[in-house]
Amino acid sequence: NAGVMQNPRHLVRRRGQEARLRCSPMKGHSHVYWYRQLPEEGLKFMVYLQKENIIDESGMPKERFSAEFPKEGPSILRIQQVVRGDSAAYFCASSPSTPSTQYFGPGTRLTVL
Amino acid sequence: AQRVTQPEKLLSVFKGAPVELKCNYSYSGSPELFWYVQYSRQRLQLLLRHISRESIKGFTADLNKGETSFHLKKPFAQEEDSAMYYCARAYNQGGKLIFGQGTELSVKP
């Protein structure tokens, strides 16, 4: 069973562009979580999704950020009109149910120039 | 406020010495607590969770509700234990993890 996959591993964008981060959960996992890690800080929860539903988006910035987990395909975290402050590592985790252990992907490092 | 605190950013010990990585959480109900570890160039992985009461790689952690702590301990540190350690608490029936800032453990030979 392959682990949680994230791509791309590194993403460079200029200010004002859009960033799309993908997360493929482990096989059999229908729960996906996104976390952001700013430099010198711990991981901060952003959003929790089940297939086609957003369960908890209490950590998502109100503007420019959105997430989806369609019936088919990976979960997508989308950041519109990126700014330098969006530069961070974005981690995805998945679990088969909740409460349950969350398994993490390797992360996507976003750099905004 | 939902908070997990790891007061030490860096902890440096010699091989064979005891290790204690501190973690405190803000009190609210019955906490579900975890320790995650990230070795160099590897992804974050679960080390242990308080519900299972397991000892993994010689590490243990005891939940102290009176002190709202969940410190991670190992009696004899090994060089391969060098890594980033994150304490985390689950909220909303496990849907959301709140992480501490992380402690970098460095075990010197």
Q: Are B41 and B66 in contact (CB under 8 A)?
A: no
Which residues in chain A come in under a pLDDT of 70?
1
Residues of A in contact with B96 (CB under 8 A): 33, 45, 48, 56, 58-59
Burial profile A23-34: b = 16 or more Cβ within 10 angstroms, e = fewer? bbbbeebebbbb
User: Which residues are within 8 A (CB) of B29 and not within 5 positions of it... i.e. 6 or more apart?
Assistant: none
- Residues 83-102 on B with a CB inside 8 Å of A are 86, 90, 92-102
What does the pLDDT read at residue A98?
72
What does the pLDDT read at residue B95?
77
User: Apex CA B20: angle with CA A94 and CA A103, to 5°?
Assistant: 5
Tokens 């395909």, residue?
A: A73
Chain A / chain B CB contacts < 8 angstroms: 60
Alpha-carbon dihedral angle through residues A106, A111, B4, B7, given to the nearest 10 degrees:
100
Residues of A in contact with B97 (CB under 8 A): 33, 35, 43, 45, 93, 102
Q: Are A90 and A39 in contact (CB under 8 A)?
A: no
Minimal Cβ distance to A43: which of B45, B86, B95: B86
State pLDDT tens for residues A83-94: 999 999 999 999
State pLDDT tens for residues B5-21: 999 999 999 999 999 99
Which among B20, B35, B37 has a CA at the least distance from the CA of B77? Answer: B20
What does the pLDDT read at residue A51?
87
d(CA B91, CA B75): 30
DSSP code of A16? T
CA distances from A25 to A28, A93, A101 (A): 8, 7, 13
A8 preceded by a cis bond (ω within 30 of 0) = yes
Minimal Cβ distance to A56: which of B36, B96, B102: B96
Q: Which two tokens mark B80?
A: 């391969």
State pLDDT tens for residues B51-78: 777 778 899 998 888 889 999 999 999 9
Decide if pLDDT at B46 tops 80: yes
Is B106 at the interface with chain A, CB within 8 A? Answer: no
